[in-house]
Structure 1
């Protein structure tokens, strides 16, 4: 897993499609669903950590983008 799209496709494999209308909310909801899948024992720790890091990075980048957009 390397991108947010990869995480989306992984979740889609479990029948989870997330669209809340705001990218930031989508990322936060993906994090919650990913935790639930991991806690249920349906994915290994390394894959979970990779996906978690991707979501953290995307969350940070989205916050930076929104702050920059707000400042304009």
Structure 2
């Protein structure tokens, strides 16, 4: 997985569409959904690890952007 779009497509395969209007909240909810899929053994370890790393990276970037605006 290389992009947030890839993660969205993965979640979509399982019927999960996430959009609450706040980018950080969206990313955090995606992380929760990915963890649920993994704990239910619906996705492989490699998919889980790459998705979590990407989501955490994006969350960090969004928080830095938000902090620099203030």
TM-score, scaled to structure 1:
0.94
Structure 1 residue runs without a partner (length 5+): none
User: Aligned partners of 2:64, 2:9: CA distance in 1, in Å?
Assistant: 25
Q: How far, CA to CA, are the matches of 2:69 and 2:18 in structure 1?
A: 24
RMSD over aligned Cα atoms = 0.6
Partner of 2:20: 20
2:46 aligned with 1:46: yes
Structure number with bigger Rg: 1
Question: After the TM superposition, which parts of structure 1 deviate over 3 Å for at least 4 consecutive aligned residues?
Answer: none
Corresponding residue pairs, total: 70
Distance 1:9 1:67 in 2: 29
Gaps of at least 5 residues in structure 2 are: none
Q: Normalization by structure 2: what TM-score?
A: 0.97
Aligned to 2:15, what secondary structure does the other structure show? Answer: coil
